[in-house]
């Protein structure tokens, strides 16, 4: 990724500086400043006088010096950086980066015309800002690039010869798209069982799979006898399949429970004498 200079010039220091800062007076001892740094996870603490104007900056390097001398009880005045270089809140990021390069400091206080400290800009704040841009770019790319992919297959009731072809095709497409194997497996089970339900019980139907980066939605809709008691049909072992179909290894009352186990969300709509619609969702961003 190459970031143009114009981008850095368009960002003001005051927009990305850390304003959650702690200021100390010259009489604060180094020990308490060390604690402030640890708890607030900061590496620079501005030192102000009684009028609230900046007179120095205690950095993590200063704390180390005091620590090395076994002198953490001394007032920070002894170790702080006096008259530190600072940034103006209206400075842009490009100016700031030049200052970082020139002095090789890890952070600069941000000070207004009255000498009051408004915040601190550290290299960490800049890195986080850049990461935010990167994430934004990726999100936009994903949305524009990937429209929902729709797979659609007709399924014929009683057609045991073609049964399973639709779900096999779905599996192959997902493999080509590089979908995670564990997700593919769940989709395979859902599509297979939904497809077989249409073959076994209905006259005809359609198996549809909608794929987006966030979700896979499987819809199996059929014209058929419908389900009079969905709750009962969901129970493992319950089946209305005729004997000749059971002999083939179907109709064990495992179809809908299998679908349910593999779905993050499952909805079944059915009208007796008209047909059934099974809507199953799998979320992809869920880790």
Partner 1 sequence: MKSKEIAQILNFQVISSPNGDVDIKYGIVCDLLSFVMAHALEDSIWLTIQTHLNTIAVAVLTGIRSIVFVSGQKPNEETIKKAIEEKINLYVTEKSAFEIAGELYKLGIRGEEKRL
> Is position 188 an interface residue for partner 1 (rule: CB under 8 A)?
yes
> Is there binding between residue 252 and partner 1 (CB under 8 A)?
yes
Residue in 131, 132, 138, 165 binding partner 1, rule: CB under 8 A: 165
| 200 contacts partner 1 (rule: CB under 8 A) | no
In this structure, what are the phi and psi dihedrals at residue 203, rounded to the nearest 5 degrees? -85, -50
**Span interacting with partner 1, options 24-32, 203-211, 219-227, 252-260, rule CB under 8 A:** 252-260
Residue 286 as a binder of partner 1 (CB under 8 A): the answer is no
Q: Does 39 bind partner 1 (CB under 8 A)?
A: no
Q: Per the structure block, which two tokens stand in for 172?
A: 């192959």
Q: Is 156 in the site for partner 1 (CB under 8 A)?
A: no
C-alpha dihedral, 216 to 169 to 167 to 158, nearest 10°: 140
> Which residue stretch of 56-64, 77-85, 128-136, 164-172 sits at the interface with partner 1 (rule: CB under 8 A)?
164-172
Query: In whole angstroms, how close is the CB of 43 to partner 1 at the nearest point?
Result: 48
* Interacting residues of 31 by C-beta distance below 8 A, sequence separation 6+: 72, 73
CB of 40 to partner 1, least distance (A): 45
Residue 193 in the binding site for partner 1 (CB under 8 A): yes
Looking up tokens 């209905």, which residue turns up?
202
258 interacts with partner 1 by CB under 8 A: yes
- 55 binds partner 1, rule: CB under 8 A: no
Helix or strand holding residue 92 (H, E): none
Both tokens of 212, joined, read 């987006």
Sheet holding 204-211, edge to edge: 149-156, 204-211, 215-223, 275-283, 265-271
Length reported for the chain:
287
Reduce the DSSP state of residue 79 to 3 states and report it: coil
Query: Checking DSSP bridges between strand 215-223 and strand 275-283, what pairing results, if any?
Result: antiparallel
Q: Is 270 in the site for partner 1 (CB under 8 A)?
A: no
Going by their DSSP bridges, the two strands 215-223 and 204-211 should be labelled as antiparallel
Q: How far is the CB of 212 from partner 1 (least distance, A)?
A: 23
Number of shown-chain residues binding partner 1 (CB under 8 A): 25
| Only segment of 29-37, 101-109, 155-163, 201-209 that touches partner 1 (CB under 8 A) | 155-163
Q: Taking every pair of C-alpha atoms in the chain, what is the biggest distance, in angstroms?
A: 94
Determine which residue in the list 84, 109, 224, 255 makes contact with partner 1, applying CB under 8 A.
255
Single out the residue of 171, 208, 277, 281 in contact with partner 1 (rule: CB under 8 A).
171
Q: Are 23 and 47 in contact (CB under 8 A)?
A: yes
Cβ atoms < 10 Å from Cβ of 119: 21
Distance CA 37, CA 231 (A): 59
Distance in Å, CB of 275 to partner 1, minimum: 22
Stretch of 13-21, 40-48, 245-253, 274-282 lying at the interface with partner 1 (CB under 8 A): 245-253
Identify the residue among 42, 163, 209, 211 touching partner 1 (CB under 8 A). 163
For 164, the 3-state DSSP assignment is: coil
Residues forming contacts to partner 1 in the complex (CB under 8 A) are: 160-161, 163-165, 167-168, 171, 181, 185-186, 188-189, 192-193, 196, 248-250, 252, 254-255, 258, 261-262
């Amino acid at each position: 990724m190459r970031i143009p200079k114009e981008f850095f010039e368009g960002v003001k220091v005051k927009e990305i500086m850390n304003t959650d800062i702690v200021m100390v007076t010259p009489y604060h001892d180094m020990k308490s400043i060390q604690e402030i740094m640890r708890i607030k996870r900061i590496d620079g603490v501005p030192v102000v006088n009684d009028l609230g104007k900046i007179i120095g900056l205690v950095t993590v390097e200063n704390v180390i010096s005091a620590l090395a001398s076994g002198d953490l009880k001394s007032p920070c005045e002894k170790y702080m950086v006096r008259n530190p270089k600072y940034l103006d809140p209206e400075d842009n990021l490009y100016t700031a980066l030049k200052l970082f390069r020139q002095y090789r400091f890890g952070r600069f206080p941000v000070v207004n015309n009255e000498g009051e400290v408004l915040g601190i800009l550290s290299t960490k704040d800049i890195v986080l800002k850049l990461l935010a841009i990167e994430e934004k770019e990726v999100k936009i790319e994903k949305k524009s690039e990937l429209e929902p992919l729709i797979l659609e297959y007709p399924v014929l009731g009683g057609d045991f010869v073609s049964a399973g072809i639709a779900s096999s095709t779905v599996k192959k497409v997902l493999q080509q798209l590089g979908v995670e194997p564990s997700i593919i497996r769940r989709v395979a089970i859902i599509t297979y069982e939904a497809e077989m339900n249409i073959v076994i019980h209905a006259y005809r139907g359609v198996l549809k799979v909608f794929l987006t980066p966030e979700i896979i939605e499987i819809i199996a809709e059929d014209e058929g006898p419908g389900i009079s008691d969905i709750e009962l049909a969901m129970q493992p072992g319950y089946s209305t399949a005729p004997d000749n179909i059971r002999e083939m290894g179907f109709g064990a009352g495992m179809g809908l429970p299998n679908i349910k186990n593999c779905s993050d969300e499952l909805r079944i709509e059915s009208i007796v004498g008209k047909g059934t619609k099974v809507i199953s969702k799998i979320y992809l961003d869920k880790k």
